[in-house]
Structure 1
């Protein structure tokens, strides 16, 4: 499966991007969903780094909030007008490479018009948008996941169809191609089945224990990771391979996935302490205001000395973000409770 890239502005949709990233990664896997180019090494040409990352992707999700188009730099100029703006580079690189670009509208935002966009990303205005709403977040994300399944599995070089807002792909849309591939390997499957017939007769059918459906949902996966073989006689719907709920639940536990309604805190990259969405928003706001709560000229604890009335948050070792004592205590409580909020191991 080719990767999915989430493009967003920190000042505009940081919270929604993190929430969407978590939802998609639990379904598609930790190494299949990327959220901005955060691993560019010092001295590297970030333009080439962005192009390299985008070139590997099947889909770019362009998260657009109410201020996506109007965020300005220190000189008061729109960032989107800067040729070196990361969001512009990510979008233009995807459009140039015919990567499927799906505008994802959040916060009630509307699509930017062609006249408001720089020349290299004007085509974005003609891409069908997908809306994620706060009230219907889970159901909207589920519809987006169904759409992404048909995009991200495209083989390199195959043309991707245009994105459709809230479109639910037909489960038989690729039935013809799927059966063609199945018949190609039909001889090999038949031979293996013949050789293993005795073993299968002895062992019988295996059944997986059911997992808690409120925690993990069974999802179809590529045949390379399926637990049983697909044969030409299977019907289109029944031929899809499924990973057991128990296996998905175990994988989610290993990733530290949170049970609903908890989400990863994100006090720092890869911070997987599970907290409420409101706490995550508070933490992200504290990160943005970190410099405002420090002594401007430093103090007894160096440049990270907090202003009077503030203390280090201590969400992790070395966390010197200055917050109120109440926030520090809530953070300590979350550290203690976080392990109880992850998906449990199946029984």
Structure 2
């Protein structure tokens, strides 16, 4: 083990360290490991790097800033090339110093989502789900195995994209979902204690609220009030101070005095916005669906999750999310399209569970 760890540490260099940006938990990519076309990566380097001019737009090269002395960049490998540029794939491979192969099929767990994802990337369920709805990209046979042997799961293939897998599953075992024998997801069944990670809290005079709920004050009230953001961690506070200019930082607290517009973007901790959005249309029939037609009202949102969806997937995506939240059936789930395998789905389903708990009068976990 010591030799293996020493080899892995030595593989991290001062230049062109690549990580998966989406899948595999951001895992480091070793120098002899091939990249895949159509996949997003993050690159860390001790020196500032700029791709050749003809690769900048092809790679969707995006500088992310400097963190702890390291320059961070995000990039996405293309899936197709113009026939007039046959040398471009080799130039990309030479620049990134990795071989690049065709994309392998991927498998995504769409429903139900796990209670949480463990630090090793394992999906954890508090009790065996009746079945798992999977989305498959590319062809490949689905298999479910344990550390001992293949188990007798019921695998129902709806079409080339959608698959449903049923148990039996039992506590104490880890199950591996694979496509074309390529491991994709590991999940296990175990008791999950109720937990709430330390995040951030907003305070204003005698009011206190979490950024992942509706703000209790409108835009005018926020401007007229001194706002304190308690981060509970020096590291989180410093990170948010770098992302949000103008806030005053003292130890683990960010503050803005009265008289100033209040806006803070805190990634997965939520967002505080000073603008007052309007509501999405309550009825699909009230929309004018003709191409180029102007809507009678400005499309807006009244939940933090709607803002995140509009930012990444536009008004149509927000409308699909609203439809799913109002009626979370399988058909409306499918209509979410690419949102189903995005980073936003856990938050969307968290809102859906909150709504269900309020309706049933249960506790909001």
Structure 1 length-normalised TM: 0.26
Q: Which of 1 and 2 has higher RCO (CA within 8 Å, sep 6+)?
A: 1
Tell me which protein shows more helix as a share of its residues: 1
Structure 2 length-normalised TM: 0.25
Tell me which protein shows more strand as a share of its residues: 2
